[in-house]
Structures are given as structure tokens and as C-alpha cells.
Structure 1
Amino acid sequence: MTLPRLALATVSLCLLAGAPAARAADEVVLKVHHFLPAGSYAQQMFIQPWCDKIAKESANRMRCQIYPSMQLGGTPQQLVDQVKDGVVDVVWTLSGYTAGRFPLTEVFELPFMMRSPEATSKALWDYVQQSALQEYKGMQPIALHVHGPGVFHMTGKPIQTRADLKGLKVRAPTRQTNRFLAVLGATPVAMPVPQVSEALSKGVIDGAVVPYEVMPSAKIQEIAKFHSETDPAEPALYTSTFMFVMNKGRYEGLPADLKKVIDANSGQALSGQIGKVFTAADAEGKKLTGRNAVNVIPAAELAGWKKAAEPVVEQWVTEVGAKGADGRQLLNNARALIAKHAGG
């Protein structure tokens, strides 16, 4: 073989040897971090399907590596900073776990705001795009959503009237829900979901408010034997806002075609679909109550609770006003968007 031919063959072999490495370099692996177990409804019904979809639509050039149960370290309260700082690529978490960081978004966590998780999730997406996108600096929102109606899960007795809450220590997820529990007469205790089961079993709290879909992840039904819902014809006692977000730099650094895949799997429609998924997950979670006692707090009783909630709403309006925002207008906008997407 002549020298030129030998050189050409050598170059060709090197190129062939480097091809797998080049393909590997082109592959994008997104580290997705969240606080619930791998078997949770959230991962099985929403996060994993989303990951499967972007893998398919990118011809497997982009895929997820999901880390449930805070496997990459830290606490649920640190997930927002983890994604902002680029420690991970994508997180799913509650905005309320970082109290005070998302004050404008909190309007959706005020008492009696939500009827439909699907409609309210669509409204939340629109509201943030219009009025609160600055709260998500450093992040690329993929979806923003809420969960289904909050339910009391108690160890000692059911909640039938406001008086039943007096003096009881009750866990809640967000600042606004904690304030509401306080005006109802309970002693609110803030903690993320992964801590609830142990706190219930040790008597640190007497109960917790969470939607039914969380029960299998935290095994709440094994400890709390009384489950008190609010009248389904009334707005939910409370809901929480969630974010599914990507590090902004990671998003902007994607090749144009992969960025389009993320864009096609982000937004209002996805947010609403997740809300719908959580409604289905509630139905599955409720089945786990088994022989436990389930009761409904009637509308007549809730009328007094709504009156008690008014100072909580006004406090939020005042607080965001002190930050330069028109709280009253934002509240009206949020309610109007919820009504719009509910078809009312």
C-alpha cells in the first residue's frame, strides 16, 4: 500500500472509531430531579411519559435520567436552586416549598380558588406568562400546574366542623394554606410530603392536608384513619402550585431541533393535561382509604370557612402591593382565567 493510501486508510479508520463517540457527544441526557418515589403517580403518570415523548420525538437524541426521592441530594426546598444553578437540568417541585420566592404565583394557593385542576392549571400557565414570569428567572417553564382538592387526613378524629380543628397540629404545604389553617383554629406545621408519614406516626402532627394522589407515596392511609373532604360542589379548600422547569442555560444551549422538541412539549396544553392526570390520580389514591372513615364537610359549614378566609386573601393583596404589584388586579385576573378555562 502506498503512503497516501495508507494515510487515507488510517484517517478513515480513525473517523470510524470516533463515530460512536461523536454520536454519544450529540446525545443530550437531562437530569430530572424530584422529591417523590419512583412509584409515585407523579412519576408514573406524568414525568416518565413526558420523558418518553421527548425521547421519541428527538429520535432518541434527547432522553431523561430521572432521579426520584431526592437521590441527587439536598432537600425538596432546595430543588428550585438546584435547577437555577444548573446542578440538575429539570426539576418538578412545589413553588410553596420555597416560601416567599414566588409571591405573585401564590394567588392560586389562596383558599377556595380552584374547582377543576385541569382548568386551574391552564389558568396558572397563562397567569404566569402574563404577570409573574419574572419569578422564574434562570428557569425555562415546561409546565405549571396544580393538584386536586386538598383533603384532611387525621389520626384521631374526623374534621366535620371548624371547631374540630381547634388546637390540632396539622401539616400544610404552603404559606397561604398554613395561614388559612391558623385562622380556622389549627396549629399549622409546614413540611414537605416526604416527612409527613413519620411525623404522623410519631405524633408530631395530628393530621395533614394533602390530595388523595399523594397517599400511596407517603403511605398516609396506613396511619391516618379519618379522611375529611370538602363538598365537591364547592371550590377546593386549597391547592398547591407546581413547576416543571428546566435550567435556562441548558435549554438555550440545546441544538435548535431539540429545543423545538422541548417547546412542543411545554405550555398551557401540557399544564392542563397534568392537572387532568392529577384528577385521575386522586381517584386511584382514594381507593386506598379502604375501611378508613371518609366524610364530607358540607357547603353550609364551609360558608363560615370562606368568611374566615377573607383576611388571608386580604393579607396576600396587601403584601404583594407592598412589593409594587396590584394585588387586587392580580387576584381578579387569576379568578377570571380560572373561570375562562372552566368555561364559565
Structure 2
Amino acid sequence: MIRRNFLKVAGAVTLGMSLSTSVMAETVLRVGSWLPPTHAQNAVVWPTWAKWVEEATEGRVKVEMEYGLGHPKTMFELVEDGAVDASFSYHGYVPGRFKLTQGVEQPLMGASAEAASVAHWRVHNKYFAKAQEHDGLEVLALFTHGPGQIHMANPINSLADLKSKKIRLGGGVQGELGKRMDVTAVGAPAPKVYEMMQQGVIDGVFIPMGEQKSLRLKEVAKHVVALPGGMYLGSFAMFISPDFMDGLSEKDREAIRSVSGEKLSAMAGAAWDAADKEGLEAALADGVSVNQVAEDGAMAQEFRDLVKGMDNEWVAHVADRKVDAKAALEELREIARSYGK
């Protein structure tokens, strides 16, 4: 009896120690986000990557999401300061720090977000990484949203009609487009656009088609001009704290990297492409007027004339970064346009 009880107690202690060790061995990777849980980035991209990470680390690293952490431009600092372990943001929100990333945003790319995202990752590593614009962070992925389009409360018949209109611009290449169109630029993070449109603070916004659904713009921006290939792409990064990575074993660090990089960039771009399709469908179903401008349409030509020389201006703008920006842009476009062919 005494021996049997001793063995039961010993077994319970051993099991408890085993469970305790298992719990202790699990590391929680906290991801901060500024978009709503329903957005493709939070509903598809992060959960897919989380599954990849947990599988690659054999359950030793578990990803948890945290929402509503403030303005997207602060995400870089939150990760650097250790408030969260990883996040993502739009480079255009921090214009003084990120200049090279505008290469992928240049007009007339003529590629999907998935294709542009793969090109973005490859060209960054070959040309841009040495400029250390992401210093203090480890970049997990680089991707773009789909083509930025014109979403208005009231219809326009030409790009000239945008003159003096109050347009929310998100930074990056959008700023230069706004200047050339002579709009009244209004800055605000994307989640604020619905409220601003509803209250009449702005007349419109330059943003991808997916936000007709994810940000409910179909309720307040009932007129969309969809230029062929869009006006621009938007550059994003997904990043993680180097300190967090240093706290992991080498095996788990490499496991996380193995499911990031180009693989994650492509998946993120594809998810935003899919969101654009869903956004268009939702907009049309809700009675939004979508002007699908033809390649030979008047507004398409108007736009091509409007953006002449922008890529050369960008090359000059990033001269202080000491990289071959012209060659990088040419290669970026070649990769994106030939992707999947």
C-alpha cells in the first residue's frame, strides 16, 4: 500500500513537472495590429503565418494578436521598444525614415500585389537592405496592397475634377500624386476614413478596392474610379523585434525565418489581391458606381501624362541612400511583370 501510494505521488509529481516544463517551453509571440480583426491582414495573413510558425517550431512558439494599439506609424516604435514582439505598418506613414520603399509604389507597375510583393522582397535584399532603413527591426516580409483607386462621395468625370477636393492621402507616392492633381491633402490613418467620409470632412480617398468592404467605404464612398493597374501600390513591412528573436533558440529563430521572407511576402500580397476582388464584389452589390476605365480611356491617358517623370524624381530623391536606385527599379518592374509567367 505504501509503495503503491508512493508511486502514485511520484507519478503525479513527474507529470506535473512535465506539464510545467511544457508550459514553460512555450513562448508567446505578441503581434500588434492597427486594422480591424475582419481585415485580410488580420483575418488571413497573420493567422496563416501564426500556423506556419507554430508548425515550424513544433509548438514552442505561439502567436497571439493584440488590436487597437494606436496609429500605424507607431508600430515600428512599439516593436523596437518591446511593447509588442512583432507588427506591420505602411512605410508612407514615416516619410523621413523610409524612402527606398517608394520604389515599389511608383505608378504604372502593371502587376498584382502578389507579384509586386515578391519583387519588393527580392530587390530590397539585393539593393536596399544595406541602407538600413529598418534599423532596429528584423524584417519578416515586405508586401504591397493592391492598386490604389479613387473613391469619392460624388462622381468625377476627369482627374482635373479633383482639383481642390479634400482627399485623404496615406503618405508615400500618394503625396506626389496629390500635388500633381492639386488636391487638398488630408492626413489620417486608414481606419479613420469611414468616419471622415461620413462626416463630410473629406470628399474622397485614394485607397485599394478592398477597403470598400473591410472599411465599409461602400456606405460612404459611392463613386469609384478604377484606373487600369491603379494609380500606385502601397508598401508595407512585417517586422519582429531582434531582442525577441535573440531570446529564442537558434533552431526556433531559423524556423521562423523559414516561413517568412519571400514566402510570407507572396502570401500577404495574394491575400490583399483577394481582398480587392471581394471589395469590388461588395461595392457592386451595394450599388456603388464603379467606373472601370479602359486602357485607351481619356482618364487613363490623363493619368499617364500626369505621372511622367515621377520615377526619375524618386531616383534623385533617394540619392543619399547610396544605392543603385535606377537599376533596382528596373529589376523590380521586370520581376513583378514576369512573375508567374
TM over 0.5: yes
State how far apart, in whole Å, the 1-side matches of 2:259 and 2:15 are. Answer: 35
Partner of 1:138: 136
Corresponding position: 1:119 with 2:115: yes
Paired residues for 1:245-260 under 5 Å: 245-260=239-254
The answer to whether the aligner puts 1:228 opposite 2:225 as a matched pair is: yes
1:195 aligns with 2:192: yes
Structure 1-normalised TM-score?
0.88
Alpha carbons 1:95, 1:102 under 8 Å: kept: yes
| AA partner of residue 319 (structure 1) | H
Give a deviation string over 1:160-215, Cα, whole Å, max 9, x none: 32212111111122231121122023222222111111111111110011112223
Query: Which residue number corresponds to residue 172 of structure 1?
Result: 169
Which position in structure 2 is the counterpart of 1:309?
307
**Mind listing any 5+ residue stretches in structure 2 that lack a counterpart?**
1-5
Mapped to 2, the partners of 1:38 and 1:327 lie a distance apart of 36
Q: Is the CA contact (8 Å cut-off) linking 2:145 and 2:273 kept in structure 1?
A: yes
Give the counterpart of 1:268 among 262, 267, 271.
262
Residue 85 of structure 2 is aligned to residue 89 of structure 1: yes
Q: TM-score, normalised by structure 2?
A: 0.89
Two-structure CA RMSD over aligned residues (Å)? 2.5
Asked whether 1:109 is paired with 2:105, we answer yes
CA contact (8 A) 2:56 2:259 kept: no
Q: Which residue of 2 aligns with 1:3?
A: none
Is the 1:176–1:312 Cα contact (8 Å) retained in structure 2? Answer: no
Contact 1:153 1:209 in 2 (8 A): yes
**Whole-Å Cα distance in 1 between the matches of residues 165 and 340 of structure 2?**
35
Q: C-alpha offsets along residues 40-88 of structure 1, whole Å, 9 cap, x if unaligned? A: 12211211122123223333221111013x2xx3321100111122221
Could you tell me how far apart the structure 1 residues matched to 2:122 and 2:252 are? Answer: 24
Structure 1 counterpart SS, 2:306: helix
Deviation at 1:17, TM superposition (A): 4.2
Deviates more, 1:32-41 or 1:309-318: 309-318
Distance in 1 separating the partners of 2:70 and 2:93: 13
- Specify whether residues 191 and 342 from structure 1 end up closer, same or farther in structure 2 by C-alpha distance, changes over 3 A only: farther
In structure 2, relative to structure 1, the CA distance for the partners of 1:270 and 1:175 (3 Å cut) is closer
Q: Distance in 1 between matches of 2:235 and 2:182?
A: 24
Q: 1:147 aligns with which of 134, 145, 150?
A: 145
Letter in 2 for 1:142: L
Helix, strand or coil at the partner of 2:248: coil
Measured after TM superposition, the shift of residue 16 of structure 1 is 5.2
Partner of 2:3: none
1:123 Cα deviation (Å)?
0.2
Q: Contact 1:160–1:228 (CA<8 Å) still a contact in 2? A: no
Which one-letter code corresponds to 1:67 in the other structure?
A: E
Residue 23 in structure 1 maps to residue 22 in structure 2: yes
Alignment partner of 1:109: what SS? coil
- 1:128 equivalenced with 2:127 (yes/no): no
Which blocks of at least 5 consecutive residues in structure 1 are unaligned?
A: 1-5
What is the correspondence of 1:42-121 to structure 2 with a 5 Å cutoff?
42-68=41-67, 70=68, 73-121=69-117
User: How far does the alpha carbon of each residue in 1:118-154 deviate from its partner, in whole angstroms, 9 at most, with x for none?
Assistant: 1111000001111222222222222211111112111
Identity across aligned pairs (percent)? 27
How many equivalent residue pairs?
Answer: 332
Rate the CA distance shift 1:323–1:98 in 2: closer, same or farther, 3 A. same
Match for residue 292 of structure 2 among 256, 271, 296: 296
Taking the aligned partners of 1:153 and 1:237, their CA distance within structure 2 comes to 12
Change (3 A) 1:135 1:11: farther
Q: Is the 8 A contact 2:174 2:206 kept in 1?
A: no
CA distance in 2, matches of 1:151, 1:137: 32
Deviations along 1:244-302, whole A, 9 cap, x unmatched? 11112212321133223212211213312221222111111112212121112333432
- Alignment CA distance shift 1:322-1:56 (3 Å): closer
Residues in 1 aligned to 2:279 and 2:167: alpha-carbon distance in whole angstroms? 20
Cα deviation per residue 1:70-127 (whole Å; 9 max; x = unaligned)?
2xx3321100111122221110221112222111111111222242211111000001
1:278 paired residue number: 272
Q: Which residue in 2 is equivalent to 1:210?
A: 207
How has the CA–CA distance of structure 1 residues 342 and 19 changed in structure 2, closer, same or farther, with 3 Å as cutoff? Answer: closer
- SS class of match (2:201): coil
Q: Could you tell me which amino acid in structure 2 is paired with residue 330 of structure 1? A: A
Distance 1:11 1:32 in 2: 40
1:13 Cα shift? Answer: 7.3
Q: Secondary structure at the match of 1:245?
A: strand
